[in-house]
Amino acid sequence: MPSTPDYAAQLRNAELRVTRPRVTVLEVVHARPHAATETVFDAVRAVLPGVSRQAVYDVLHALTDAGLIRRIQPSGSVALYESRVGDNHHHVVCRSCGVVADVDCAVGEAPCLTPSAHNGFVLDEAEVIYWGLCADCSTTQSLRSHP
């Protein structure tokens, strides 16, 4: 059993052509959960110096559409990409530094939450974002308010 994910197989299973930019973007997103587009571009460019910004954008879009990565965008944030897909997990965001962490499903199976009305929609996912202060920022804030 390989110790690293087989990105080429993931691409083939999603009926996408295996290209070096696609494999590299998958590697980057797996290595950097909740990476901003610019972070992904810079990391891909370090491996593939000739890749264009548009090519990375196109790959991110294709991988998101294929369900190989997930795009999230908390209010006030740029788009972020993660490789954890298909489990309907949620996120917690620090109001101070903006760090994002995964939080398992609020309750039960997807979509985790039951709305009071679904207006005829067939629901398959719920997106929840919790806001607060991360451990580092809450400690810093406590230190500032208690000299």
Annotated binding-site members: 94, 97, 109, 134, 137
Query: Helices marked H in 37-105 — which ranges?
Result: 37-47, 53-65
Residues of the binding site for Zn(2+)? 94, 97, 134, 137
Alpha-carbon distance of 77 to 57, in angstroms, equals 17
- Residue 132: φ, ψ to 5°: 180, -155
Residues of the binding site for Fe cation? 109
Of 92, 93, 90, which is closest to residue 126 (Cα–Cα)?
90
Q: How many residues appear in the chain? A: 147
132 within 8 A of 91, measured Cβ to Cβ: no
